[in-house]
Structure 1
């Protein structure tokens, strides 16, 4: 029997893009000798996204839809969508068309050559130079401090063999850092570099908070370096404080009448050490929050509706 490729598309308020995306994926898959299912997982859109995807699903049984009961965020929803796939391989691709569907044949080519994980990477991008630089620095930082080798500049899009998906199903993590998780599994990873185009329609759903959330998730899930830096930093600061106190004591004894420490350096020192403490407490809080998220054991998402999931998988 012809193998089945599952294509998972997370979306939120993408009414301007879902129709073109579905058409381009259908055109791309028509050139390949595989059956496919296209799973849209909607994160409780407030525009016409769900309505348009339902129309696509009514016209093509290969298009399927999961509607979340509320917006469960940009991390949990895509992961849940992958776990609902049934294909021999699963392809994750964004709905904003910044991950071109025309990369799919290259994903499958790498899969056919034996790779169980294929990731899209963007060494170049048409987004703002400042944002691209920030992302690049972050990827390098996380890759350097991570306990496992991570793929730099990965967008999250890629192909994952059924064996990888089955392992992901065993992972009991309600808030996974997906790009790090697939690296942690350990299978060799092929990469497909591309130049990321600008978003043509709609607005990005990422903001400072979502980007910060991803950044902290990547660090807390895959590195103990910040915790160890806190311990080492505290030790270094205590040594520095003792050295400065000893120097001040000697200076006062030698120049009793001329040496005046003054209030300014005391205040500066207090604010400096207070800021260091707040930084360390904030980092520690991120790890505690990650632990709290896991011990609550909430589901990834709660589904409101499914469309076309009873369609016969063996039909063309």
Structure 2
């Protein structure tokens, strides 16, 4: 009997962990009764009582398991570690807030049985804030055009992954894994297919995404899967240097030909100085992001440090 592993990453989801585990289990029992299964929570050091809820759920059902991290390792490391820790024939990560529809689990499994080793859920629309969805669309298209890897638009990581792909993830040894990029890079070799869905609103609680987490995700994808940033720095540097040279030459010629009547004002000098300074600071910051990415990989810290496991 094949085994389906459901992974539910969570952080301060005290209102959602019981309903999501019940909803997932109902789908598995009603629609996929001929499969063995496990439901595994991986908690990123919640502080709102989520862990107590998870322990209570696990105590009543040995098929529901848990991994507790010692601290918050972020929205990428923790789910990646959870996926690599499971031993099912396939792994399906699903958000605890119900924004990943549990009804798609049987659809994913059906596609998997047809021979697709990766089944990616793609948001065709969303009930979230329209402006936020628009910004996400712009971000995905930008990354897709900048990257040498064909990135997948509106893919959050929700989907099904065969155990052969999970074995690949274990071999990568990447301290800052970006699962969306990894799937885009290797998906074709695993006969990847997609399933579109409308993303519902969060069931309860508040989103843990903010400007910093979204910026962190954007920078991770840019520095991991694009060279355009650094190339842009180089090209912009040459262009700015050329413009500066032309302006300096023009001013020199005007001064020499109109020695007494030409007065070089402060405005062009100040504007040019601040413009060049702003460009330099921007690109130094961008190069700093690449260096930070390299530094994190060189340090070689573990993906996650676990506090304990339950029902494993």
TM-score, normalised via structure 2 length? 0.96
Q: What is the DSSP-based 3-state SS (H/G/I as helix, E as strand, rest coil) of the residue aligned with 2:9?
A: strand
1:246 to 220, 228, 249: 249
Q: Which consecutive unaligned segments of at least 5 residues does structure 1 have?
A: 310-316
Alignment partners' CA distance in 1, 2:248 and 2:61: 76
Q: How many residues align?
A: 308
Q: What CA RMSD, in Å, does the superposition of the two structures yield over aligned residues?
A: 1.1
Q: Return the alpha-carbon distance in structure 1 between the equivalents of residues 12 and 283 of structure 2.
A: 37
Deviates more, 1:161-170 or 1:236-245: 236-245
2:212 corresponds to 1:209: yes
**1:54-89 per-position Cα deviation (integer Å, ceiling 9, x unaligned):** 121112111000000111111111110001110111
**Residue segments in structure 2 that go unaligned for 5+ positions in a row:** none
| Residue 259 of structure 1, CA deviation | 2.8
TM-score (norm 1): 0.95
CA 1:252–1:182: 2 relative to 1, 3 Å: same
Q: Which residue of 2 aligns with 1:312?
A: none
TM-superposed CA distance for 1:252, in Å, is 2.6
1:158 equivalent to 2:159? Answer: yes
**1:38 counterpart residue number:** 39
In the TM superposition, structure 1's runs of 4+ consecutive aligned residues that sit over 4 Å from their partners are none
CA distance in 1 between partners of 2:199 and 2:24 (Å): 17
| 1:258 paired residue number | 261
SS at match of 2:8: strand
Aligned to 2:10: 11
Separation in structure 2 between the aligned mates of residue 41 and residue 104 of structure 1, nearest angstrom = 19
Shift of 1:200: 2.5
Of 209-218 and 234-243, deviating more is: 234-243
Deviations 1:31-66 (A, max 9, x none): 113111111000011012111111211121110000
Comparing 250-259 with 52-61, greater Cα deviation is found at 250-259
Q: C-alpha distance in 1, partners of 2:73/2:9?
A: 11
